[in-house]
Amino acid sequence: MPSAELIAELLDLLNELATETADYLDQQDDPQGWYNRGYANGMAAALRERGFADEVDRIIGSDPYDSTRDQATLPWGRAYEHGRELGYQDLCGVW
């Protein structure tokens, strides 16, 4: 298990990404924002699996999956899914 300091840094990064992308659904012209939101959700999923659900839930709620799934064939929807995959993989990689 990573150090408490690393976990705190990961939670801080998650908070930063969640805050910066809170309005991503209204920003369909910003694939980077959608990527970042997906990345945050990938991190959140990995942290929840590792026992940090309470901490994650205080930072970011579940995104309305129907909204993102409906965008999956569009550039911003693909960016979200790619970000989600990498956020999950990257967090698992440092664990």
pLDDT tens-digit series, residues 35-47:
999 999 999 999 9
Task: Report pLDDT digits (tens) over 26-74.
Answer: 888 899 999 999 999 999 999 999 999 999 999 998 776 666 667 778 8
Question: Does this model's pTM top 0.85?
Answer: yes
Output the CA torsion 37→38→39→41 (10° steps).
90
CB 3 within 8 Å of CB 52: no
What angle do helix axes 4-20 and 75-94 make, rounded to 10 degrees?
A: 170
Q: What is the pLDDT of residue 65?
A: 63
Report the C-alpha gap between 83 and 26 in whole angstroms: 18
